[in-house]
A = this chain, B = another copy of it.
Amino acid sequence: MPRPTRPSRANKPMTNGKETGTRGPVPRAQAVYKALRRAIIEQALKPGMKLPEDSIGEQLGVSRTLVREAFGRLAVEGLVELKPNRGANVAYPTLEEARDVFDVRRGLERLVAENLAGRLTAAQAAELEAHVRLEEKAHGQDGPESIRLSGEFHIKLAEMTGNALLLRYVQEASSRCSLILAIYGRPHSSECAVSEHRQLIEALRAGDAVRAAALMDHHLQSVVTRALLAPRAERDIRDVLAPYALSEGLTPS
């Protein structure tokens, strides 16, 4: 793509594209990070896709410096793969990594459930129930909204523990699950059963930590079996051809 190689010009007098006055710690770097993160989670950037520094920077109106910084962070979180001298790609987890992520997520959310059992304030319980009603309403519709709401339910729970680290880990695991489902998931099985969310709230309310943990565990387990299937898309020609080769008695290197 021999773009005229326009070197500069992405400059902006833009002293403040809304500025982060509200609470902007590291204004633009953070913004780039967030933009890429959302783009990946919402699958605007598809798993495995190449991420060239300058075209992205150009698109976002920043220099490569900030894009690189964002890549670094996203790599720590497992959303981006950073290869030595060959740039960045949207992560493309293997099935094995996918299993790892789900296992850890189950463990983390079990922790959330245990922490929350019996400590839910009335306001919090109400908030969760309102959320579930939203999920119910969106249930029939097609994907995006329904999926987003399902995810947010779990994030809300993690927030309510008041444990910032736990929240971060749940968010991270959750993001990676989005990626994973984009690769290996069925077209659109609404991933979370609303009824399971309801039961969970009930157990939390009742203060039954053991039951809450078991419900959460089972819930996430069933997400896996319900939505996760065999590999759907293939990342590389070799993966596509390997079975054919084998059936013909050829030996892929």
Q: Is A20 part of the contact surface with B, judged by Cβ < 8 Å?
A: yes
Complex Cα distance, B209 from A107, in Å, reads: 14
A29 CB → nearest B CB, Å: 8
What is the interface of chain A mostly: helix, strand, loop, or mixed? helix
A101 CB → nearest B CB, Å: 6
**A69-B69, A104-B111, A111-B107 known; A82-B26 Cβ under 8 A:** yes
B100-A163 in contact (CB<8A): yes
For chain A, the count of residues having a C-beta within 8 Å of the partner chain is 32
- In the complex formed, the residue of B with least CB distance to A167 is B100
A107-B104 in contact (CB<8A): no
B84-A26 in contact (CB<8A): yes
Q: Is A152 part of the contact surface with B, judged by Cβ < 8 Å?
A: no
CB-CB under 8 A from A24, the residues of chain B are 84
A103-B25 in contact (CB<8A): no
Q: Which of A65, A77, A104, A169 has the most CB of B within 10 A?
A: A104
Q: Is A193 part of the contact surface with B, judged by Cβ < 8 Å?
A: no
A76-B73 in contact (CB<8A): yes
